[in-house]
Amino acid sequence: MNSDADWASQAKQFQQELGTQWAQALNSFQQAATGTAPSAFPGLSFSPEKLGELQQAYLREASELWNQGLTERAAPADKRFANDAWSRNPVASFSAAVYLLNARTLLGLAEAVQADPKVKARLRFAVEQWMAASAPSNFLALNAEAQQKAVETRGESIARGVQNLLADLQQGYVSMTDESAFEVGRNVATTEGAVVFENDLFQLIEYKPLTKQVYERPFLVVPPCINKFYILDLQPENSVIRYLSEQGHRTFVVSWRNPDASMEDKGWDDYIEDAVLKAISVTQDIADAKQINALGFCVGGTLLGTALSVLAARKQKPVASATLLTTFLDFSDTGILDVFIDDAFVKFREMQMGKGGLLKGQELASTFSFLRPNDLVWNYVVGNYLKGETPPPFDLLYWNSDSTNLPGPMYAWYLRNTYLENNLAQPGKCTVAGEKVDLGKVDIPIYIYGSREDHIVPIAGAYASTRHLTGKKRFVMGASGHIAGVINPPSKNKRSFWTNDKLPGTFDEWLKGAKEQPGSWWPDWSAWLKPHGGKQIAAPKSYGRGSKYKAIEPAPGRYVKAKA
């Protein structure tokens, strides 16, 4: 045990270090942001008023810390330091307080920078990543909670942590859940159905009707190709696919193939012509229907919107209505993802894989995880390695870890024509499958959903689609984020959603007139879909259609089981 004199000595050392913290922080901030020494580069300019306020606040709070020394203090609101072990350990508590002060100050410095919005966003993102990685909770020598657990378990937690680390090093990523608890087709993606068509890009799954009668227009779901489709069929109680079948829709779903070397030359045109458009025509053919209804989720919605534009250019209208869930068609407001995209980055990707190659699924997964580093990265580093814990089984996180590759040419086209140049939103600017893309020619009824707290497709970005599609539109906002907002079944009676029958020019204007409704948005969507389904007919008794489209294998099929 350390004596009071030892604590006092350590406190004095901390005080001396804090005395020079401000000048060092400003100097380091400039060097980190510019990548060069201030003498060789003029550096960043700051708002003098904000800089003065920050300096005063920093010195005031630092003085309070000095005066408190290593006395016991209340646990901070930050959940990383909320455990009692932190407040009971004076050094750990003090280190957490100093860290939080420095984090607030550095984020304040990022806000005080006088620069264009993109530069400020990149600085903010860099500081957030730096602060998330440098938290004292990430280090065993500073993490009081992990130290306490090591003592209580007589070192077993450390031994288990080393085992967890070695296992994760072998698999190549940080475990977020107990993956051994799940198996696709056994306890996730279990809705009954059969694969009725397949080609090099996708399998088409038809699901067993759950009603005696179905709508004459079948329903096709186009999920994102950067993830696996079973996010829409995790469990029976929260399955969008099962819900559609329960509402009387004859449901078909695109199951994307996990690309390997044989697909490394596939481009955006292939995904439109040979996948989305092919899935539409096969669904029509199997159901013997003049028109179908369709849904696109995330990138699946971008693919569907592009395909609808191609069909409009060809004077074809096989889709009676469409649903877009958390989808970008207009990429003018892409939120935090914009920090990654500039001309140099896109040119590098085009040089690297624009004519062939694969973007590895784990790279995509890591990128999305670091959008929320404390929750999706460091939380598991601390739990798995410092505390020796095994993350509990969670179907959503199992799906999140089940990554998919992307063909390089497809990915490079997508980067340039959406995030960088926003060409899809500009009539005639890009050509897909031999046709000029003009979203304004898509004049079918469309239901557009966005999630209020979505960090991947910000709500204003989802709303922007209303400015380009000319058919009758309905926009609905749900609570929560990109996934939790969408997967919100009525049976849970959770959250709420907002509606406004008017569609003004901006999302902020729409929100002013929106009314909050309790519970899930699914019934609102189901009511909107009903008149677009056509008349009721007898549900089919078998999958596919005759000898042309026979059941190939039971759902969920083998494509979704392939690992990246």
- Tell me the CA end-to-end span of the chain in Å, nearest whole number: 51
Exactly one of 295, 298, 377, 469 is catalytic; which is it?
298
Q: What is the DSSP string of 183-232?
A: -BTTTBS---EEEEEE-SSEEEEEEPPSSSEEESS-EEEE--TTS-GGGG
Max CA distance (Å), the chain: 87
225 is catalytic: no
Please list the helix, strand and coil fractions of the chain in percent, rounded to the nearest 5, in that order: 50, 15, 35
Q: How distant is the alpha carbon of residue 430 from its chain centre?
A: 26
What Rg, from alpha-carbon coordinates, does the chain have? 27
The helix or strand, by DSSP H or E, that contains position 244, with its residue range, turns out to be helix 240-246
The Cα 216–Cα 209 span in angstroms is: 12
The Cα 228–Cα 320 span in angstroms is: 26
Pick the closest to residue 252 from 324, 199, 203, 317 (CA basis): 203
Backbone angles phi, psi at 257, to 5 degrees: -75, 140
Q: Which residues are CB-contacts of 186 (< 8 A; sequence separation ≥ 6)?
A: none
Q: How many residues does the chain have?
A: 564
The Cα 317–Cα 535 span in angstroms is: 19
Catalytic residues: 298
